[in-house]
Copies of this chain bind each other. A is one copy, B any other.
Amino acid sequence: MTKLKWGMIGGGAGSQIGPAHRLGASLDGLFEFTAGALDHRPEEGVRYGQTFGLGNRAYGSWQEMLSSEKALANPVDLVTIATPNSTHFEITKAFLEGGFHVLCEKPMTMTVEEAEEIVKISDATRKICAVNYGYSGYSLVRHMRAMVTRGDIGKIRLVNAEFAHGHHADAADADNPRVRWRYDPKQAGVSAQFADCGIHALHMASFVTGQVVTKLSADIVSCISVRELEDDAMVNFRMDGGAVGRLWTSSIAIGRQHGLGIQVFGEKGGLRWSQEQPNQLFYMPLGGRMQVIERGEENLSPEADRATRVTIGHSEGMPLAFANIYTDLAEAIRALKGQRDIDPSANLYPRAEDGLRSMAAVFAVAESGKQKGTWVDARPPMFS
């Protein structure tokens, strides 16, 4: 099977997210790194692209890449956008309209209006616009979703999600430019910790339950008082299938590393999963005993099986979760090329609608936070 051709915008030398995407895209041999505009400095972008063997498809700018690739007989099949947040909208829009499938880093845009526009363009062009809520790629997260879907724990009553870390807890480091921009509304937009981390937990709540957030109430605080934007937030929410939600996110939680986790409680059972111990899923049926579901167990769901590479007892970590987003995209792209149906167990990548709903939630959190926790509509206008 020929590899799909893959291109990247951003992710230059020294970037953290660039290598993670290259790892995820290449890991299963489904994509070949073919083209890229890896730096905002044209010469550096070309130079760095050539270290990956991109040859004359190492471009000096995304505009150049767009026009050149469009002109080729065999242009790239998928473009990953890993540029600064404020540029996501413009580049995503341009590539979708140029006829390319896109995987955009989160956030997809900086406003709800822009996000709605992307959704519409993606629909109109029938081009994939995926958004990288990559933690949904873990096989046991997908298995949670499958268990909920098939009714193993009954109607969902409550979701409790969190994403806590302590990496911005040092007040003496608050002015460090590497940290400061995240709490500056001019650079980060209307929200800091919720938009950066909490949104992953909120996406996961939707992903696992199959429900979308309808309204929410937020309590946001800046524990380090020089920050304009929040470093800690508690969000209560409601979902369209009746589930109640609680979500805590923090960047001052000293002792937590990358504490994304979720608990889901239904009428017939409960489930618990944590990003830092991703190979076990804790399941308790009503009236029963806690059971440990192991990644790689026999007879899990098709969704879990498809997202599993090594046998039980061997941990799979975050890079493989990430790679699962790419395998889904490969499947989706091939399906579109072949005009065939996508394997439903592979049709799980987060998409423009998720990016839009996330953006609406970010703005709702900011608004409710300003208004002392007033409940606000969290749905984007086009879905309300």
- Which residues of A line the B interface, CB within 8 A? 1-3, 16, 19-20, 22-23, 26-29, 33, 51-53, 153, 157-158, 160, 165-166, 169-171, 217, 219, 221, 223, 232, 234, 236, 244, 246, 248, 250, 252-259, 263, 265-267, 269-272, 275-279, 282-287, 289-294, 297, 309-320, 372-375
Query: What chain B residues lie within 8 Å of A290 (beta carbons)?
Result: 255, 291-292, 294
A-B contacts, 24 of them at CB < 8 A, read A20-B310, A23-B309, A157-B252, A158-B221, A158-B223, A169-B265, A169-B286, A217-B373, A223-B244, A232-B244, A250-B265, A254-B266, A255-B265, A255-B270, A255-B271, A255-B284, A257-B312, A258-B314, A276-B279, A276-B313, A277-B315, A310-B318, A315-B315, A319-B319
CA gap between A259 and B290 in the complex, in Å: 14
Query: What chain B residues lie within 8 Å of A272 (beta carbons)?
Result: 255
Flag if A254 contacts B286 (CB, 8 Å): yes
Contact of A289 (CB < 8 Å), options: B217, B234, B293, B375: B293
Flag if B234 contacts A246 (CB, 8 Å): yes
16 new A-B contacts, CB < 8 A, other than A246-B248, A255-B270, A279-B317, are A3-B53, A22-B29, A26-B27, A27-B27, A166-B270, A217-B373, A232-B244, A234-B246, A255-B263, A258-B313, A258-B314, A290-B291, A310-B318, A310-B319, A317-B320, A373-B373
CA gap between A157 and B267 in the complex, in Å: 36
Instruction: Select from chain B the residue with minimum beta-carbon distance to A243.
Output: B223
CA gap between A169 and B29 in the complex, in Å: 36
Instruction: Select from chain B the residue with minimum beta-carbon distance to A156.
Output: B223
CA gap between A259 and B263 in the complex, in Å: 13
Contact of A319 (CB < 8 Å), options: B52, B253, B309: B309
**Nearest Cβ in chain B — how far from A31, in angstroms?**
11
Query: What chain B residues lie within 8 Å of A232 (beta carbons)?
Result: 157-158, 244
Flag if A219 contacts B236 (CB, 8 Å): yes
CA gap between A22 and B29 in the complex, in Å: 9
3 nearest A-B pairs in the assembled complex, by CB-CB distance: A258-B313, A257-B313, A255-B284
Flag if B284 contacts A166 (CB, 8 Å): yes
A292-B289, A319-B320 known; A258-B312 Cβ under 8 A: yes
Query: What chain B residues lie within 8 Å of A23 (beta carbons)?
Result: 27-28, 309
Contact of A29 (CB < 8 Å), options: B26, B160, B165: B26
